[in-house]
Amino acid sequence: MTDNGPILVTGAAGQLGAVGRTVCGLLRDRGLPVRAMVRREDDRAAALRAVGAEVVVGDLLEPADVYRVVSGCRRVYFGMSVSAGYLEATVTMAVVAREVGVDAVVNMSQMTVSQMSIQKTTSSGQQRQHWLSEQALAWSALPVVTIRPTMFLESFSPLAAPTVRARGRIEVPFGRGKTSPVAAADVARVVAAVLADPGPHLGRIYELTGPRSQDMHAVAREFSDALNREITYFDIPAEDWERELKKAGLPEHLTRHLVAMGELHRAGRYDRLADGVERVTGRPAIGVREFVSLKADDFGGRRS
Ligand SMILES: NC(=O)c1ccc[n+]([C@@H]2O[C@H](COP(=O)([O-])OP(=O)(O)OC[C@H]3O[C@@H](n4cnc5c(N)ncnc54)[C@H](OP(=O)(O)O)[C@@H]3O)[C@@H](O)[C@H]2O)c1
């Protein structure tokens, strides 16, 4: 291990939550050296260089790539897109991090894992892989900090923005289930704080939610307040949602995960509140209204 080596941030180009990309910026703001791992050279890689990160290209499913990018680093943030190879990538990272020797691995997981066990699982392959990944990291005896966020507020952009723009409706099959989505920017603030000074956090699990757990009608009211026009919630049949997701050409693994997320919402499994954001960063998590206000353009803009 290199005591003053860079902090490796995987999945740094960002796609949905872009936690890795935000973490890179936050660490650079603190003057810490960052190695940002991306899958390919593009303008996102150039943007990471512009904030002072060392950019490395590699595939988290290729052990030799992972060894090359981890070598010389003292700490690792491990996160990548929801994808079928997640468990393989996690175990590959664990093997390499043990070989190289690092003083902290901050592992992105999901809040649903808190309710999972050998006897109680979910139909999402992604959640099953996160559960197994956490087990494997525990066996690895690496110094791990586990981050378990609930659904990201950013998920509303792909999932709800088109219908909010087109007809002022959030159309998801969440029934009357309550939800407490958290901003990926808040998740990134937690990850960056832990990476900057991992000592007090080692071995801990941080559950992260937004500030309120409420049903989708209440979420729609927060959208209305933020956009200054009426937004309503329309509970669609799960089959319709699945058909739309497939039509959009999403990978099967992601579609199955989103369908499971809908089922779990209906079953009340996203009705959770946790204070991890404030506990780690000292600042409360932002809520739906603040998030939608910040992203108003995604949702068709705020009426003046
Ligand atoms: N979205 C949610 O609601 C939610 C909630 C709780 C937890 N999570 C967890 O958050 C994580 C996703 O975080 P995020 O939204 O910040 O990620 P993201 O924005 O989707 O970015 C992930 C990055 O991983 C990269 N990547 C994918 N496969 C790779 C590979 N084989 N090798 C190297 N890089 C690879 C992608 O590269 P490209 O851009 O080049 O494809 C992408 O830039 C997942 O673990 C998910 O389970 C998500």
Residue ID of nearest Cα to ligand 1 atom 25: 11
pLDDT given at position 2: 61
* Residue numbers in the chain where pLDDT is lower than 50: none
pLDDT given at position 15: 80
The structure's pTM equals 0.98
Q: What angle do CA 107, 111, 115 make, to 5 degrees?
A: 120
Centre of ligand 1 to C-alpha 122, Å, is 20
Centre of ligand 1 to C-alpha 58, Å, is 14
Centre of ligand 1 to C-alpha 19, Å, is 8
Decide: 61 in ligand 1 pocket, CB within 6 A.
yes
Amino acid, res. 295: K
Ligand 1, pocket-test mutation among 9, 10, 15, 132, most atoms within 8 A of CB: 15
pLDDT given at position 241: 94
Centre of ligand 1 to C-alpha 297, Å, is 23
Ligand 1, pocket-test mutation among 81, 130, 209, most atoms within 8 A of CB: 81
Decide: 209 in ligand 1 pocket, CB within 6 A.
no
CB atoms within 10 A of CB 239: 10
pLDDT given at position 3: 73
What does the pLDDT look like over 197-211, one tens digit per residue?
A: 999 999 999 999 999
Decide: 157 in ligand 1 pocket, CB within 6 A.
no
Decide: 107 in ligand 1 pocket, CB within 6 A.
no
Residue ID of nearest Cα to ligand 1 atom 12: 81
Decide: 253 in ligand 1 pocket, CB within 6 A.
no
Decide: 125 in ligand 1 pocket, CB within 6 A.
no
Centre of ligand 1 to C-alpha 83, Å, is 8
Decide: 108 in ligand 1 pocket, CB within 6 A.
yes
- What is the biggest distance separating any 2 CA atoms in the chain, rounded to whole angstroms? 58
pLDDT given at position 294: 97
**Closest residue by Cα to residue 194 from 135, 111, 279, 136:** 279
In 162-182, which positions are buried (b, 16+ CB within 10 angstroms) versus exposed (e)? Answer: bbbeeebbbbbbbbebbbbbb
Decide: 177 in ligand 1 pocket, CB within 6 A.
no
Q: Which two tokens stand for residue 97?
A: 């991090």
Ligand 1, pocket-test mutation among 59, 80, 108, most atoms within 8 A of CB: 80
Decide: 19 in ligand 1 pocket, CB within 6 A.
yes
